[in-house]
Amino acid sequence: MIDLHTHSLASDGSDAPADVLRRAVEKGLSGVALTDHDTISGLHDFMTAAEGKNIEAVPGVEISSFLYNKEIHILGLFIDPSSESLHTFLAQARENRNRRNQIMLEKLNAIGYEITEEELQNEAGGESVGRPHFAKILVRKGYFADIQEAFAHCLKRGARAYTPRQPASPQESIEAIHAAGGLAFWAHPVYQKPGERSFVRRYLRHLVPLGLDGIEAYYSLYSLRQHQMLKEMAVEFGLLICGGTDYHGIHHPGIELGSGGGGLNIPDSVLENIRRKARPV
């Protein structure tokens, strides 16, 4: 089985990129992708760690976008890690993150939660700094009992320190992935609410004409019904399917590499179908 959605220390995961690969080998996976948020800085170590191993390492990235006033994520798979255009695009995405982070830092300090920019950078350890890094510092300093509480009080949408980002549009994200030779997939599109099928169909009607290649039909938090619905949507719109756990190591307790919450099993055929459609750079 495979896992095409994982994160490392390069963004907001807890494992070094090479350790994600090593853990995948230990789990017996036949393929794994590293898809850090808005950065590909971990791909060199990740791909190097796969040399001589009986596993296919897929270079990837996860890019944040907005559509209909809602944040959506676009996965890029089989990207070229040396793509200058992608490096430039992601550097701009991180700059947008950094501007948002600075405002959130000022808000937190203003309401009595003391965090410095140096602490934030040290916590992140990589290029891509996000809200989970804020949350970990708040917990470690004793302001909150756990990360969920920190998000609820300060960091989630509508909370006192929350600050929206200005990410790239879906079209820009998809074009950046394609320019780097990759395929673009809508990540974790399903949410626990009524009307999921019509919600997905509405978004796909916008995304498919932009060049979207596929949809993440397998995911740690999906039910069997949601898996089936998304596979049906893929057939309806002529899309590839991908799948992954969204593994973050110890930062997402209960989500294991390869198996998610315990029952996920993504067949090798998913990766085989994607590989056949991968674009030459």
CATH code: domain of residue 78: 3.20.20.140
Residues 86, 180, single domain; the answer is yes
pLDDT at position 113: 94
Instruction: Determine, yes or no, domain membership for 193.
Output: yes
Widest CA span in the chain: 54
Residues 17, 151, single domain; the answer is no
Residues 85, 151, single domain; the answer is no
Cα-Cα-Cα-Cα dihedral sign, residues 174, 190, 261, 215? negative
Instruction: Determine, yes or no, domain membership for 97.
Output: no
Contacting residues for 138 by C-beta, under 8 A, at least 6 apart: 108, 113, 115, 144, 150, 154
Boundary (domain end) residue, out of 135, 155, 175: 155
Q: Give me the residues of the chain with pLDDT under 50, please.
A: 281
- Tell how far CA 237 is from the center of its chain: 23
Nearest to 45 by CA among 139, 126, 129, 152: 126
- What's the CA angle centered on 134, arms 131 and 138, to 5 degrees? 140
Instruction: Determine, yes or no, domain membership for 120.
Output: yes
Q: Which domain holds residue 112?
A: 103-155
pLDDT at position 262: 87
pLDDT at position 126: 67
Residues 118, 173, single domain; the answer is no
N residues, the chain: 281
- Tell how far CA 222 is from the center of its chain: 16
Residues 205, 82, single domain; the answer is yes
Instruction: Determine, yes or no, domain membership for 160.
Output: no
pLDDT at position 109: 94
pLDDT at position 279: 62
Tell me the two tokens of residue 55: 């596993």
Total of domains in the chain? 2
HSE value, Cβ hemisphere, 13 Å, CA-based, for 231: 12
Q: What is the DSSP letter of 152?
A: I
Tell me the two tokens of residue 190: 């399903």
CB neighbourhood size of 183 (10 A):
24
List, for residues 78-129, the tens digit of each pLDDT value: 999 999 999 999 999 888 888 888 999 999 999 999 999 889 888 877 677 7
Residues 117, 171, single domain; the answer is no
- Report field, pTM of the whole predicted structure over 0.85: yes
- Region for 27 from its dihedrals, namely left if φ exceeds 0, alpha if ψ lies in -120 to 50, beta otherwise: alpha
Residues 46, 77, single domain; the answer is yes
pLDDT at position 125: 72
pLDDT at position 228: 95
